[in-house]
Amino acid sequence: MSQPTGVIHDIGYQRYTGPRLGRRPIVGALYVHGLRAAFGLGRSAKAKVFPWLIVGVVAVVAAVLTALRARTGQALVGYAEFTEMLSMLIIFFCAVVAPELVSRDLHNGVLPLYFARPLRRQDYALARLAALVSATFLLLAGPMTVMFVGAAFSVDRLGAVWDELGDYLVGLGYAAVHAVVFGVLALLVASLLRRRAVAAGAIVGSFLLTTPVVGVLMVLPYERATQLAGLASPVTLVGGLGDWAFEPGGEAEIGGYGPLYALTTLGFVVAGVLLLLARYRKVASK
Amino acid sequence: MTLIATQSLTKTYGNGVTALADLTVGIEPGIVGLVGANGAGKSTFIKIVLGLLSPTSGQVRVLGLDPTVDGRQVRARVGYMPEHDCLPPDLSAAEFVTHMARMSGLPKTTARERASEALRHVGLYEERYRQVGGYSTGMKQRVKLAQALVHDPDLLLLDEPTNGLDPAGRDAMLGLVERIGTEFGISVLVCSHLLGEVERICDAVVAIDGGRLLRSALLSDMTAATEVLTVEVSEGTDELAARLAAANLPVRRDGRLLLVPLADETTYDLILTAVAELDLPLHRLDQRRHRVAELFATGPVASGEPPAALAGAGATEGGIR
Amino acid sequence: MTNVELSGVSRWYGNVVAVNNVTMSLGPGVTGLLGPNGAGKTTLLHMMAGFLAPSRGTVTLDGEPTWRNPAVYRRLGLVTEREAAYDFLTAYEFVLASARLHRLPQPEAAARRVLDLVELTSAEDRRIGTYSKGMRQRARVAAALVHDPEVLLLDEPFNGMDPRQRMHMMDLLHSLGDAGRTILFSSHILEEVEQVSGTVQVIVSGRLAASGDFRTIRRLMTNRPHVFAIRSTDDRRLAVALMAEPSVNGVELDRDGLTVRAGDYGSFTRALPKIALASGIRVRRLLPSDESLESVFSYLVEA
């Protein structure tokens, strides 16, 4: 005969003795969290609407271009031009995603919780920036990959595939430059504003603010003015850099100022990142 | 081990406001109340403990570490519950606390499990899968506590944990803090303006005023019994006062209470006899205790500071915001 | 002498009944308005102040309705819970603006007077944006008091205040009440309500659950035994002696002494001294365990 047995399990508070990960895995988790949040993953359905709307439009454009190319055998738009053509959509994407990543945390008062955790102050800003840049890059790289695969199947020679791959990789590089420049500016603006709608408007505004300057410089009857006009606005700045570095033969519009465009772009990004870090240093100590 | 130890800790902000001035204090494990006027330097103190601000001069050690150098190691072992709202309304409590656990360095699956446990320990069950935006103030406070607790810290910093709670909510929160300090074995530093709360849950009290240490003592010392008996009868207070006076007891009146110096044990008998003879309902008879509130009732004058310190504290109040 | 009378007052928002058939009378002195979150305290205060129309019933101030009656504003002040954002004004400008709105004959003098009353004179020329919570609160109280109203209504006036500011606000309410004004303030901090005023109005889910002196209210709860903690020179013998007393329902003995549950408050509290004296036991401590406002309130909310 077996004895009846009984046991009460201890489900009281248990101390944790398992591993505690270091800074890198934490920042990695924050990055992945941001990247998912950029596309509304793990968020409400409402948060998914805008990013996926833009993803949808970009995908449709890519699909149409791929289909046309398959039919005509002629590439209507190159990879670099594809990115430039969509620059307005990229701005909208950043305007939707950057506030979602940082303004929201500011508005909800979550930041002190991050700063009270084993991260460095800069880590939050950099992980958020990396998430926004990656998301923006993916927005472009995804459809470009579709275009590349479509093109690779439609050419007849193996050599042409190699040429296409070269163009594709250069196109990815150009998309990455866009993602970095646009991402830095958008995140910096969003980090200053706690209301998402206001931040979104301010981001679009910050990209468009100086376009009249470009316009005025363009119509001046001096060649140098027109060639340097692009420096005045982020969109044309990256465009100028692209003309020099990514589009063979595109240098006509900027003359010999290609390296200046490249340096200015670099300076713009570095300044933006430094300002962003300074911004969060201030928030953390407040 | 001393939980937090500071030596001549001073913090002066760029605009010349001195938030902490030569603060030397040792805080031992247990539940410790941090009390002081608005702008007394409590928030500066917390930020220095978390390694988010560097002191202008002086030393600080938290759990044996120097937060100005090893801020991340300190923060890995400290949990912080801020006073203000800090919850995203569109996430569920489970998602949010899991994310915060990962931000403290817990691996993915562990983070999920411990988040679920932390929420259970603070008293959130089915609700944890609903969006935080729909929670009551009391539930939100619990989520804030859970995110501070999820990585099993050695020290919890709670800033006004009962803010906005109604009496039942306050009672539950205080019970929770008490359990964390005793059952869970986690030390707690709790900032509160409500001295009654501090008296209820704390083992020790640190009072700062104008950035300086006003007093650091065990609660039992701060609420020590005095040699005065308080007597309360539900009716006939005046009669009783007269009768006690007639019995040569130097009785004083304080509102509903009668205060009688405790000369020796016979004082009890004299009072009881007087009450019995007058046939009065005896409501209370006890040695009067000191209260934490006495620290503030008399103001800085009692601590030997000139009254000007009060004006100084007022100026700091504005400066820190 | 100013009386605020509520008669059969209800207020609903759609299907949500915030205040349900409340009849209440407030006279001079300080009264605490208590209730759990969402019980309807704020709605009630706003109706008293004439900011909100009752859905049913009437709110009157000395017989005059408060709703749609601007004359009432001259006699009444309200300090709301939400912090109004006048950060760009100094306390003096803010209070002066309030004085001008009331068309006081000497607004400057009135503003200075109330700022002195709330002890903000030393800071009156600083912008409110630089104030601590307690100072802002006092500035708002000053603005509500500038026209010297007979009735002052305050919603959570102690919120965010530090210990010294709390004591100061308590003293202020006390002195205003002693001066014959009718003061009603809501608060969650029952110890403070107990210190400021023993007179309370308790709202539970929109209903008025109890009003009056909380000690009297406690006596009316005859179904709740009164619990006392006792320490004496011989607890065990005292326990035996007390069990013989009809008013005692039960006695518990532990390390800290005796816990006595008494059915009849009056009989027990009268009998205890006599029993102790007769048995030659010295009572060193008698503490009521559930007579505080805190316990009275929780009994009312639970019931």
Per-residue pLDDT, C222: 86
pLDDT band at A109 (very low <50, low <70, confident <90, very high): very high
Mean pLDDT computed over B264-284: 94
Residue C302's pLDDT is what? 84
Q: Is the pLDDT of residue C264 over 70?
A: yes
Statement to judge: residues C197 and C89 lie in one domain = yes
| Per-residue confidence (pLDDT) for residue B307, from 0 to 100 | 36
Nearest residue on chain B to A281, alpha-carbon basis = B52
- Exposure string for B219-229, b = 16+ CB within 10 A, e = fewer: beebeeeeeeb
Q: What is the mean pLDDT of chain B?
A: 88
Q: What is the ipTM of this complex?
A: 0.89
| One domain, residues C275 and C157 | no
Q: Is the pLDDT of residue A251 over 70?
A: no
Counting residues of chain A whose pLDDT is more than 90, the rounded percentage is: 52
Give the residue, A28 or B312, on which the prediction is more confident.
A28
Burial B70-86 (b: 16+ CB within 10 A, else e): bbbbbbbbbbbbbbeeb
**Cβ atoms of C101 and C77 closer than 8 Å:** no
Q: Are C149 and C179 in contact (CB under 8 A)?
A: no
B80-115 confidence digits (pLDDT tens): 999 999 999 989 999 999 999 999 999 999 999 999
The DSSP bridge partners found for residue C9 are: C22
> CA–CA separation, A283 vs B142, rounded Å?
25
List the beta bridge partners of residue C287. C229
pLDDT over 50 at B304, yes or no: no
Percent over 70 (pLDDT), chain B: 93
CA distance B287 to chain C (A): 8
Residue B299 has pLDDT above 50, yes or no: no
**Measured between alpha carbons, how far is A269 from B1 in angstroms, rounded to an integer?**
48
Q: Looking at the complex, does the CB of residue C284 fall below 8 Å from at least one CB of chain B?
A: yes
Q: How many domains does chain B have?
A: 2
pLDDT in the model for residue C85: 60
Whether residue B63 is found in the same domain as residue B39: yes
Residues of B in contact with A285 (CB under 8 A): 47, 52-53
Q: Are residues B238 and B217 in the same domain?
A: no
Q: What is the pLDDT of residues B210-226, one digit of tens each?
A: 889 999 999 999 999 99
B204 domain-assigned? yes
- Does residue B303 surpass a pLDDT of 70? no
Range of the domain at B191: 4-77+153-222
Q: Do A112 and B47 touch (CB under 8 A)?
A: no
Q: For residues C143 and C141, what is the distance between their CA atoms, to the nearest angstrom? A: 5
Task: Say which residue, B79 or C197, is predicted with more confidence.
Answer: B79
Of the candidates C193, C215, C237, which is a domain's last residue?
A: C215
The model's pLDDT over A12-32, given as tens digits with 9 standing for 90+, comes to 899 999 999 999 999 999 999
pLDDT in tens, C116-164: 888 888 888 889 888 877 788 888 889 999 998 999 999 998 887 888 8
Could you give the number of structural domains in chain C? Answer: 2
The closest CB to that of C167, out of B36, B297, B321, belongs to B297
- Among B88, B91, B105, beta carbon nearest to A26: B105
Arithmetic mean of pLDDT, C36-51: 91
Q: Phi, psi (5° rounding) for residue B271?
A: -65, -50
**pLDDT band with cut points at 50, 70 and 90 for residue B118:** very high
pLDDT at B57: 94
Is residue B217 domain-shared with residue B232, that is, in the same domain?
no
pLDDT band at B58 (very low <50, low <70, confident <90, very high): very high
Candidates A111, A120, A187; CA nearest to B88 is: A111
Contacting C residues, span 28-67, partner chain B, CB-CB under 8 Å:
34-38
Scanning the structure block, which residue is given the tokens 């150098």?
A: B69
Last residue of a domain, one of B222, B248, B278: B222
pLDDT score, position A252: 67
| Residue owning tokens 């009669």 | B239
* CATH assignment at residue B60: 3.40.50.300
Quickly state the pLDDT bin for B298 (edges 50, 70, 90): low
Is the domain of B281 the same as that of B162?
no
pLDDT at B313: 37
Residue B264 domain flag: yes
Q: Which of C165, C185, C215 finishes a domain? A: C215
Question: Region A94-109: what's the mean pLDDT?
Answer: 94
- Closest to C209 (Cα-Cα) out of C291, C300, C295, C292: C300
Residue C132 and residue C170 in one domain: yes
Are C56 and C163 part of one and the same domain? yes
Percent of chain C exceeding pLDDT 70 equals 99
Let me know if residue B244 belongs to a domain. yes
Q: How far apart are CA A112 and CA C17, in angstroms?
A: 38
- Tell me, what's the pLDDT at C118? 85
- pLDDT of residue B308 exceeding 70, the answer is no
**Is the CB of residue B47 less than 8 Å away from at least one CB of chain A?**
yes
Sheet holding C56-61, edge to edge: C16-26, C4-13, C56-61, C64-65
Task: Express each pLDDT in A192-247 by its tens digit.
Answer: 999 999 999 999 999 988 888 888 888 888 888 888 888 888 888 888 888 887 77
Note the pLDDT of residue A179. Answer: 95
Q: Do chains C and A touch (3 or more CB pairs under 8 A)?
A: no
Q: Is residue B147 in a domain?
A: no
Alpha carbons B62 and A86: distance in angstroms, whole number: 53
Contacts for B221-224 with beta carbons within 8 Å, 24 or more apart?
B222/B290, B222/B292, B222/B295, B223/B199, B223/B289, B223/B290, B223/B291, B223/B292, B224/B289, B224/B290
Higher pLDDT, C81 or A2: C81
Q: What CATH number is given to the structural domain containing B234?
A: 3.30.70.100
Helix (H) or strand (E) holding C110: helix C107-117
Domain-located, residue B115: no
Q: Find the closest chain A residue to B92 by CA distance.
A: A43
Q: C86 falls in which pLDDT band (50, 70, 90)?
A: confident
CB atoms A113 and B121 under 8 Å: no
Return the partners of chain C (3 or more C-beta pairs < 8 Å).
B
Q: Within this chain, do residues C205 and C226 fall inside the same structural domain, yes or no?
A: no
Taking residues C165-177, report their average pLDDT: 88
A254 burial (CB, 10 Å; 0-12 / 13-18 / 19+) is buried
Model confidence at C83, pLDDT cuts 50, 70, 90, reads low
* Contact A114/B at CB under 8 A: yes
pLDDT by residue (tens digit) across B134-147? 999 999 999 999 99
Closest CA of chain C from B315, distance in Å: 9
Asked whether A and B share 3 or more beta-carbon pairs under 8 angstroms, the answer is yes
B151 touches chain A (CB under 8 A): yes
What percent of chain A lies above the pLDDT cut of 70?
97
Provide the chain A residues 152-181 that lie in CB contact (below 8 A) with chain B.
none
Q: Between C223 and B5, whose confidence is greater?
A: B5
pLDDT band, very low/low/confident/very high, at A121 (cuts 50, 70, 90): confident
Q: Is the pLDDT of residue A77 over 90?
A: no
Is C151 found in the same domain as C115?
Answer: yes
The range of the structural domain enclosing residue C48 comes to 4-215
User: What is the mean pLDDT of the segment spanning B34-52?
Assistant: 89
Q: Which single residue is written with the structure tokens 């004299």?
A: B270
Please report which confidence band the pLDDT of residue A159 belongs to, taking 50, 70 and 90 as the band edges.
confident
Cβ–Cβ contacts within 10 Å for residue C127, how many? 16
Q: Does B98 touch chain A (CB under 8 A)?
A: no
Where exactly are the structural domains of chain A? 23-207
Confidence (pTM) = 0.87
User: What confidence score (pLDDT) does residue A186 get?
Assistant: 96
Q: Whose CA is closest to C45, among C83, C6, C84?
A: C6
Please check whether residues B190 and B176 belong to one and the same domain.
yes
Residues C96 and C137 occupy one common structural domain: yes
Same domain for B263 and B281, yes or no, is yes
How far apart CA A280 and CA B15 sit, in angstroms, is 20
- pLDDT band of A249, cuts 50, 70, 90: low
8 Å CB contact of C131 and B318: yes
- Tokens 């120097």 locate to B66
Least confident of A144-153, A242-251, C257-266: A242-251
